[in-house]
């Protein structure tokens, strides 16, 4: 389960206020600023009997959770 409070479902977002002055409530995924949460895959290398993390790459995007691209998220 994702515990980061900055990622919300579109239904949860619709109960939040939009940061744009002329807007009232968030429209979630219907907004151009909406960003879907990125799901990462850890890339590892195995040598000398040990795994080494060499980075992460985006595997896919969530279809459930996202965030407002106009608001800084953790």
**Its pTM surpasses 0.75:** no
Rounded average pLDDT over 11-30: 91
Cα dihedral sign for 23, 7, 32, 10?
Answer: negative
Burial class (CB in 10 A: 0-12, 13-18, 19+), 14: middle
Query: Has residue 3 got a pLDDT over 80?
Result: no
What are the tokens at 48? 């000398």
3 state DSSP class of 6: coil
Query: Has residue 1 got a pLDDT over 60?
Result: no
Instruction: Determine which helix (DSSP H) or strand (DSSP E) holds 41, and give its type and residue range.
Output: strand 34-47
What are the tokens at 34? 């909406």
Looking at per-residue pLDDT, the higher value among 59 and 35 belongs to 35
């Amino acid at each position: 389960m994702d515990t980061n409070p900055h990622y919300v479902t579109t239904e949860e977002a619709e109960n939040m206020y939009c940061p744009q002055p002329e807007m009232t409530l968030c429209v979630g995924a219907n907004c151009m600023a909406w960003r879907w949460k990125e799901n990462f895959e850890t890339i590892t290398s195995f040598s000398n009997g040990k795994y080494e993390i060499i980075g992460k790459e985006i595997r896919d995007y969530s279809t459930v959770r996202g965030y407002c691209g106009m608001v800084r998220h953790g």
